């Protein structure tokens, strides 16, 4: 049996660091990462961008750049972003995910 790789691929695959450190060290979860993840996932779905061949938003464990967080990484381009609020998330969706233009001011 053969598998069609293109059928399984995504145009953009976004991973949010949602690691919670218990020792008091800086972590993305302490900087609103969960809320940003939920916002992006809902907005991408609402805009009809989610699904095979389109955009996939995923949870990730520690991306090991805690001092730069909160963080997400967008593949296949491997662009690392930080963000402050939902306006930043909306800008990443509009600019990068829809129009293919990296949001330079948010790149880590």
What pLDDT, in 10s, does the model give residues 4-59?
444 448 999 999 999 888 887 888 888 899 999 999 999 999 999 998 899 999 99
Strands ordered across the beta sheet of 79-82: 55-60, 12-17, 71-75, 79-82
Amino acid 30: pLDDT: 86
Q: Which of 59, 57, 60 is nearest to 45 (CA)?
A: 57
Q: Give the integer Cα–Cα distance in Å for 44 and 56.
A: 9
Q: Give the integer Cα–Cα distance in Å for 7 and 28.
A: 32
pLDDT reading at 3 higher than 50: no
Domains, the chain, in order of start with CATH, read 8-106 (3.40.30.10)
pTM recorded for the entire structure: 0.88
Amino acid 98: pLDDT: 97
Ordered alpha helix ranges (H), 1-108: 5-8, 33-46, 86-92
Contact criterion met (CB below 8 Å) for 91 and 102:
no
């Amino acid at each position: 049996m053969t598998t069609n790789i293109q059928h399984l691929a995504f145009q953009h695959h976004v991973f949010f660091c949602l690691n919670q450190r218990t020792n008091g060290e800086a972590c993305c979860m302490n900087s609103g990462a969960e809320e940003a993840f939920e916002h992006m996932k809902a907005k991408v779905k609402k805009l009809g961008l989610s699904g095979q061949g389109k955009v996939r938003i995923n949870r990730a464990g520690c991306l090991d750049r805690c001092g730069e967080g909160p963080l997400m990484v967008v593949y296949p381009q491997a662009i690392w972003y930080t963000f402050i609020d939902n306006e930043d998330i909306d800008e990443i969706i509009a600019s990068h995910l829809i129009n293919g233009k990296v949001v330079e001011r948010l790149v880590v």
